[in-house]
Amino acid sequence: DTAVSQTPKYLVTQMGNDKSIKCEQNLGHDTMYWYKQDSKKFLKIMFSYNNKELIINETVPNRFSPKSPDKAHLNLHINSLELGDSAVYFCASSPPWANYGYTFGSGTRLTVV
């Protein structure tokens, strides 16, 4: 019974396309996140979202947009994909209390060709 699940696991697409990655958590956590891990393996926050507030990392291009239909889901939409968007995207969730840390999904490996 997967706690944080992402789909698809792999995504290969052409430049200029629009794609979405879905994320669902069944942990009852209040906050969900999207992280990007590039080829150098750095994990960088893209968005954090709870049912009250969306916090955007200002370095993220506005081609990326999170969509949350409800507390258990946070999807990532990407418009006009570019070669530099190729990376692994991880969804994560956490409860309100600080010392719990995150639970990550298994990642979506996006390749833009």
Partner 1 sequence: RKEVEQDPGPFNVPEGATVAFNCTYSNSASQSFFWYRQDCRKEPKLLMSVYSSGNEDGRFTAQLNRASQYISLLIRDSKLSDSATYLCVVNSDDGQNFVFGPGTRLSVLP
> Where on the chain is the footprint of partner 1 (CB under 8 A)?
33, 35, 40-45, 48, 55, 90, 98-99, 101-107
CB of 89 to partner 1, least distance (A): 11
CB of 95 to partner 1, least distance (A): 12
Q: Which is nearer to partner 1, 42 or 80 (CB)?
A: 42
Q: Which is nearer to partner 1, 35 or 64 (CB)?
A: 35
> Which residue, among 47, 38, 46, 44, has the nearest Cα to 110 in the 3D structure?
38
Q: Which is nearer to partner 1, 50 or 75 (CB)?
A: 50
Torsion of CA 10, 12, 15, 17, to 10 degrees: -70
> Which residue, among 14, 11, 13, 15, has the nearest Cα to 82 in the 3D structure?
15
Query: How wide is the angle at C-alpha 77 spanned by C-alphas 63 and 23, nearest 5°?
Result: 145
CB of 109 to partner 1, least distance (A): 8
Q: Which is nearer to partner 1, 18 or 44 (CB)?
A: 44
> Which residue, among 19, 37, 15, has the nearest Cα to 113 in the 3D structure?
15
Q: What are phi and psi of 84, to 5 degrees?
A: -70, -5
CB of 66 to partner 1, least distance (A): 13
